[in-house]
Structure 1
Amino acid sequence: MLGNFPSRELLVSSCLFLLVGCGGSPDTGPELVDAGGTVKLSGEPLAHADLYFMPAAGTSGIGGTARSDESGNFTVNYGRGGTGLPAGNYVVTVSQRLMPDGTPVAVDDDRDPIESPAKEQLPEKYSNAEKSKVQAVVQPGQAIQIDLE
Protein backbone atom coordinates (compact mmCIF):
# COMPACT_ATOMS: atom_id res chain seq x y z
CA MET A 1 0.00 0.00 0.00
CA LEU A 2 2.79 2.43 0.87
CA GLY A 3 4.47 1.58 -2.41
CA ASN A 4 1.57 3.16 -4.29
CA PHE A 5 1.74 6.46 -2.41
CA PRO A 6 4.50 8.10 -4.54
CA SER A 7 2.67 7.16 -7.76
CA ARG A 8 -0.60 8.57 -6.42
CA GLU A 9 1.23 11.75 -5.37
CA LEU A 10 2.80 12.01 -8.82
CA LEU A 11 -0.59 11.47 -10.47
CA VAL A 12 -2.25 14.19 -8.36
CA SER A 13 0.65 16.60 -8.99
CA SER A 14 0.48 15.94 -12.73
CA CYS A 15 -3.28 16.55 -12.81
CA LEU A 16 -2.88 19.81 -10.91
CA PHE A 17 -0.10 20.89 -13.28
CA LEU A 18 -2.28 20.14 -16.30
CA LEU A 19 -5.26 22.00 -14.84
CA VAL A 20 -3.16 25.07 -14.11
CA GLY A 21 -1.48 24.83 -17.50
CA CYS A 22 -4.83 24.61 -19.29
CA GLY A 23 -6.25 27.65 -17.56
CA GLY A 24 -5.49 29.92 -20.47
CA SER A 25 -4.44 33.53 -20.29
CA PRO A 26 -6.63 36.31 -18.92
CA ASP A 27 -7.13 37.46 -22.53
CA THR A 28 -9.01 34.30 -23.45
CA GLY A 29 -12.57 33.56 -22.53
CA PRO A 30 -16.01 34.60 -23.65
CA GLU A 31 -16.52 37.79 -25.62
CA LEU A 32 -17.68 40.62 -23.38
CA VAL A 33 -20.28 43.19 -24.41
CA ASP A 34 -20.89 46.50 -22.66
CA ALA A 35 -23.10 45.87 -19.66
CA GLY A 36 -24.47 48.76 -17.70
CA GLY A 37 -27.70 50.49 -16.93
CA THR A 38 -29.84 51.79 -14.10
CA VAL A 39 -31.28 50.29 -10.93
CA LYS A 40 -34.39 51.80 -9.33
CA LEU A 41 -36.39 51.10 -6.19
CA SER A 42 -40.06 52.13 -6.28
CA GLY A 43 -39.35 54.21 -9.38
CA GLU A 44 -36.49 56.17 -7.78
CA PRO A 45 -32.77 55.73 -8.55
CA LEU A 46 -31.11 53.39 -6.05
CA ALA A 47 -27.75 54.88 -5.07
CA HIS A 48 -24.80 52.92 -3.70
CA ALA A 49 -26.30 49.51 -4.44
CA ASP A 50 -24.06 46.53 -5.05
CA LEU A 51 -25.21 44.34 -7.93
CA TYR A 52 -24.01 40.78 -8.51
CA PHE A 53 -24.69 39.22 -11.93
CA MET A 54 -24.68 35.41 -11.96
CA PRO A 55 -25.01 33.64 -15.33
CA ALA A 56 -28.25 31.72 -15.79
CA ALA A 57 -28.27 28.30 -17.47
CA GLY A 58 -26.95 28.53 -21.01
CA THR A 59 -24.94 31.73 -20.43
CA SER A 60 -21.15 31.44 -20.46
CA GLY A 61 -18.71 33.18 -18.17
CA ILE A 62 -18.48 33.71 -14.44
CA GLY A 63 -20.60 36.82 -13.94
CA GLY A 64 -19.69 40.22 -12.63
CA THR A 65 -20.31 42.98 -10.14
CA ALA A 66 -21.27 46.65 -10.16
CA ARG A 67 -22.00 49.51 -7.77
CA SER A 68 -24.57 52.13 -8.64
CA ASP A 69 -23.80 55.83 -8.42
CA GLU A 70 -26.03 58.59 -6.99
CA SER A 71 -28.29 58.36 -10.07
CA GLY A 72 -28.63 54.58 -9.90
CA ASN A 73 -26.37 54.12 -12.94
CA PHE A 74 -23.86 51.27 -13.01
CA THR A 75 -21.26 49.57 -15.21
CA VAL A 76 -20.60 45.86 -14.70
CA ASN A 77 -17.05 44.67 -14.06
CA TYR A 78 -16.38 41.15 -15.30
CA GLY A 79 -15.19 38.65 -12.69
CA ARG A 80 -11.86 38.05 -14.46
CA GLY A 81 -11.08 41.67 -15.25
CA GLY A 82 -12.36 44.20 -17.72
CA THR A 83 -15.83 45.63 -18.04
CA GLY A 84 -18.92 44.02 -19.50
CA LEU A 85 -20.40 40.53 -19.53
CA PRO A 86 -20.95 37.77 -22.06
CA ALA A 87 -24.32 38.26 -23.77
CA GLY A 88 -27.03 36.20 -22.13
CA ASN A 89 -29.37 35.88 -19.17
CA TYR A 90 -28.41 36.64 -15.58
CA VAL A 91 -29.85 36.33 -12.10
CA VAL A 92 -29.07 39.54 -10.22
CA THR A 93 -28.64 40.08 -6.50
CA VAL A 94 -29.03 43.70 -5.38
CA SER A 95 -27.75 44.79 -1.98
CA GLN A 96 -27.58 48.18 -0.29
CA ARG A 97 -25.73 48.20 3.00
CA LEU A 98 -25.56 51.42 5.01
CA MET A 99 -23.56 52.32 8.09
CA PRO A 100 -25.45 53.39 11.24
CA ASP A 101 -25.00 57.06 10.26
CA GLY A 102 -26.66 56.40 6.87
CA THR A 103 -23.50 56.48 4.76
CA PRO A 104 -22.88 53.68 2.28
CA VAL A 105 -20.28 51.02 2.97
CA ALA A 106 -17.02 52.03 1.30
CA VAL A 107 -16.21 50.15 -1.90
CA ASP A 108 -12.89 48.99 -0.43
CA ASP A 109 -14.41 47.84 2.90
CA ASP A 110 -13.50 44.16 2.92
CA ARG A 111 -14.87 43.33 6.36
CA ASP A 112 -17.09 40.29 6.68
CA PRO A 113 -20.71 41.55 6.61
CA ILE A 114 -21.32 39.80 9.94
CA GLU A 115 -18.53 41.85 11.55
CA SER A 116 -19.54 45.14 9.93
CA PRO A 117 -21.88 47.60 11.65
CA ALA A 118 -23.55 48.19 8.26
CA LYS A 119 -27.11 46.97 7.82
CA GLU A 120 -28.80 45.63 4.70
CA GLN A 121 -31.53 48.00 3.49
CA LEU A 122 -33.19 45.76 0.92
CA PRO A 123 -35.37 42.70 1.50
CA GLU A 124 -33.90 39.24 0.99
CA LYS A 125 -35.95 38.75 -2.18
CA TYR A 126 -33.38 41.10 -3.77
CA SER A 127 -30.30 40.84 -1.55
CA ASN A 128 -30.07 37.09 -0.95
CA ALA A 129 -28.45 35.16 -3.79
CA GLU A 130 -30.52 32.06 -3.03
CA LYS A 131 -33.82 33.96 -3.05
CA SER A 132 -33.39 36.63 -5.72
CA LYS A 133 -35.70 36.39 -8.71
CA VAL A 134 -34.30 39.57 -10.30
CA GLN A 135 -33.27 38.85 -13.87
CA ALA A 136 -31.36 40.79 -16.50
CA VAL A 137 -30.71 40.20 -20.18
CA VAL A 138 -27.36 41.41 -21.50
CA GLN A 139 -27.35 42.19 -25.22
CA PRO A 140 -25.02 44.35 -27.30
CA GLY A 141 -26.16 47.97 -27.41
CA GLN A 142 -28.96 47.48 -24.87
CA ALA A 143 -28.90 49.10 -21.41
CA ILE A 144 -29.94 47.00 -18.42
CA GLN A 145 -32.92 48.35 -16.50
CA ILE A 146 -33.52 46.86 -13.06
CA ASP A 147 -36.75 47.97 -11.38
CA LEU A 148 -37.31 46.84 -7.80
CA GLU A 149 -40.67 47.38 -6.12
Structure 2
Amino acid sequence: MRWAAILLLSLFLLPGCGSDAAKPENLVPASGTINLDGAPLNDGIIALVPQGGGPAITANIKAGNFTLDYSRSASGMPPGTYQVSIRSTVGAATMDAEGNPVEPESRVAERFGDPAQSGLLVTVPEGGTDALILDVSSE
Protein backbone atom coordinates (compact mmCIF):
# COMPACT_ATOMS: atom_id res chain seq x y z
CA MET A 1 0.00 0.00 0.00
CA ARG A 2 2.96 2.31 0.69
CA TRP A 3 4.18 2.02 -2.90
CA ALA A 4 0.70 2.91 -4.13
CA ALA A 5 0.78 6.15 -2.13
CA ILE A 6 4.23 6.98 -3.53
CA LEU A 7 3.07 6.27 -7.08
CA LEU A 8 -0.02 8.45 -6.66
CA LEU A 9 2.07 11.23 -5.15
CA SER A 10 4.45 11.09 -8.11
CA LEU A 11 1.49 11.48 -10.45
CA PHE A 12 0.64 14.84 -9.00
CA LEU A 13 3.97 16.24 -7.89
CA LEU A 14 6.90 14.88 -9.84
CA PRO A 15 5.90 15.29 -13.49
CA GLY A 16 4.99 18.94 -13.06
CA CYS A 17 7.62 20.01 -10.57
CA GLY A 18 10.47 22.35 -11.34
CA SER A 19 10.83 24.88 -14.08
CA ASP A 20 11.65 24.28 -17.71
CA ALA A 21 15.21 25.37 -16.84
CA ALA A 22 15.54 22.18 -14.72
CA LYS A 23 14.41 19.79 -17.46
CA PRO A 24 16.99 17.61 -19.19
CA GLU A 25 18.02 18.79 -22.65
CA ASN A 26 18.08 15.32 -24.19
CA LEU A 27 14.37 14.48 -24.13
CA VAL A 28 13.21 12.01 -26.79
CA PRO A 29 9.71 10.81 -27.72
CA ALA A 30 8.58 7.62 -25.96
CA SER A 31 5.25 5.85 -26.36
CA GLY A 32 3.88 2.37 -26.70
CA THR A 33 1.20 -0.14 -25.84
CA ILE A 34 0.25 -2.30 -22.87
CA ASN A 35 -1.58 -5.60 -23.20
CA LEU A 36 -3.40 -7.34 -20.37
CA ASP A 37 -3.81 -11.08 -20.94
CA GLY A 38 -3.27 -10.53 -24.67
CA ALA A 39 -5.69 -7.62 -25.19
CA PRO A 40 -5.09 -3.84 -24.89
CA LEU A 41 -5.34 -2.62 -21.27
CA ASN A 42 -8.36 -0.33 -21.23
CA ASP A 43 -7.06 2.25 -18.76
CA GLY A 44 -4.58 2.74 -15.97
CA ILE A 45 -1.32 4.40 -15.04
CA ILE A 46 2.22 3.54 -16.07
CA ALA A 47 5.25 4.79 -14.16
CA LEU A 48 8.87 4.52 -15.26
CA VAL A 49 11.58 4.83 -12.62
CA PRO A 50 15.16 5.42 -13.86
CA GLN A 51 17.45 2.53 -12.90
CA GLY A 52 20.09 4.98 -11.70
CA GLY A 53 17.58 6.85 -9.53
CA GLY A 54 15.55 9.99 -10.08
CA PRO A 55 11.90 10.97 -10.33
CA ALA A 56 9.34 8.64 -11.89
CA ILE A 57 7.78 9.62 -15.19
CA THR A 58 4.11 8.72 -15.34
CA ALA A 59 1.43 8.60 -17.99
CA ASN A 60 -2.20 7.60 -18.34
CA ILE A 61 -3.00 4.46 -20.28
CA LYS A 62 -5.94 4.83 -22.66
CA ALA A 63 -7.15 1.99 -24.90
CA GLY A 64 -3.81 0.24 -24.39
CA ASN A 65 -1.71 3.24 -25.47
CA PHE A 66 0.51 5.63 -23.53
CA THR A 67 2.82 8.57 -24.26
CA LEU A 68 5.49 9.52 -21.72
CA ASP A 69 6.34 13.17 -21.07
CA TYR A 70 8.87 14.58 -18.62
CA SER A 71 6.37 17.24 -17.50
CA ARG A 72 3.27 19.02 -18.75
CA SER A 73 5.43 21.50 -20.63
CA ALA A 74 8.30 19.19 -21.64
CA SER A 75 7.48 16.47 -24.16
CA GLY A 76 9.48 13.26 -24.17
CA MET A 77 11.81 11.72 -21.63
CA PRO A 78 15.53 11.11 -21.17
CA PRO A 79 16.94 8.01 -22.90
CA GLY A 80 17.88 5.18 -20.56
CA THR A 81 16.70 2.03 -18.82
CA TYR A 82 13.68 2.18 -16.55
CA GLN A 83 11.88 -0.11 -14.12
CA VAL A 84 8.15 -0.10 -14.84
CA SER A 85 4.99 -0.26 -12.76
CA ILE A 86 1.46 -0.51 -14.08
CA ARG A 87 -1.76 0.06 -12.12
CA SER A 88 -5.31 -0.40 -13.31
CA THR A 89 -8.34 -0.81 -11.09
CA VAL A 90 -11.99 -1.72 -11.46
CA GLY A 91 -13.95 1.22 -10.05
CA ALA A 92 -12.75 3.74 -7.51
CA ALA A 93 -11.69 3.51 -3.87
CA THR A 94 -14.63 3.47 -1.46
CA MET A 95 -15.24 3.48 2.29
CA ASP A 96 -16.57 0.64 4.39
CA ALA A 97 -19.32 1.02 7.04
CA GLU A 98 -16.73 2.14 9.63
CA GLY A 99 -15.29 4.80 7.32
CA ASN A 100 -12.11 2.87 6.44
CA PRO A 101 -10.82 3.07 2.87
CA VAL A 102 -11.45 0.02 0.70
CA GLU A 103 -9.01 -0.47 -2.17
CA PRO A 104 -10.65 -1.15 -5.54
CA GLU A 105 -9.96 -4.47 -7.26
CA SER A 106 -6.85 -4.46 -9.43
CA ARG A 107 -7.13 -5.53 -13.08
CA VAL A 108 -3.44 -6.43 -13.22
CA ALA A 109 -1.56 -8.76 -10.89
CA GLU A 110 -0.40 -6.82 -7.81
CA ARG A 111 3.31 -7.37 -8.56
CA PHE A 112 3.01 -5.10 -11.60
CA GLY A 113 2.13 -2.16 -9.33
CA ASP A 114 5.62 -2.11 -7.78
CA PRO A 115 8.53 -1.25 -10.10
CA ALA A 116 10.95 -3.25 -7.93
CA GLN A 117 8.75 -6.37 -8.15
CA SER A 118 7.16 -6.10 -11.61
CA GLY A 119 10.06 -7.61 -13.54
CA LEU A 120 9.35 -5.06 -16.28
CA LEU A 121 12.26 -3.09 -17.75
CA VAL A 122 12.22 -0.83 -20.78
CA THR A 123 15.03 0.93 -22.57
CA VAL A 124 14.30 4.24 -24.26
CA PRO A 125 16.91 4.62 -27.04
CA GLU A 126 18.77 7.84 -27.88
CA GLY A 127 16.48 8.47 -30.86
CA GLY A 128 13.27 7.78 -28.95
CA THR A 129 10.64 5.16 -29.76
CA ASP A 130 6.96 4.62 -30.36
CA ALA A 131 7.31 0.85 -29.98
CA LEU A 132 7.48 0.17 -26.23
CA ILE A 133 5.35 -2.96 -25.84
CA LEU A 134 4.52 -4.34 -22.42
CA ASP A 135 2.55 -7.48 -21.66
CA VAL A 136 1.04 -7.97 -18.20
CA SER A 137 -1.34 -10.51 -16.73
CA SER A 138 -4.25 -10.44 -14.34
CA GLU A 139 -2.72 -13.25 -12.29
More strand by share: 2
For 2:135 and 2:103, locate their aligned partners in 1 and report how far apart those are by CA, in whole Å: 27
The Cα RMSD (Å) is 2.6
How many residues are paired up? 111
Displacement of 1:77 in angstroms is: 2.7
Candidates 52, 58, 66, aligned match of 2:47 = 52
Q: Which amino acid aligns with 2:119?
A: K
2:29 is the counterpart of 1:34: yes
Structure 1 residue runs without a partner (length 5+): 1-23, 100-104
After superposition, the Cα gap between the structure-2 partners of 1:98 and 1:80, relative to the gap in structure 1 and judged at 3 Å, is same
Contact 1:50 1:66 survives alignment (8 Å):
yes
Displacement of 1:129 in angstroms is: 3.3
Candidates 92, 114, 124, aligned match of 1:138 = 124
Q: Which runs of 4+ in 1 moved over 4 A?
A: none
* Alignment-derived partner of residue 85 in structure 1: 77
TM-score normalised per structure 1: 0.63
After superposition, the Cα gap between the structure-2 partners of 1:115 and 1:76, relative to the gap in structure 1 and judged at 3 Å, is farther
Structure 2 residue runs without a partner (length 5+): 1-17, 94-99
* Alignment-derived partner of residue 135 in structure 2: 147
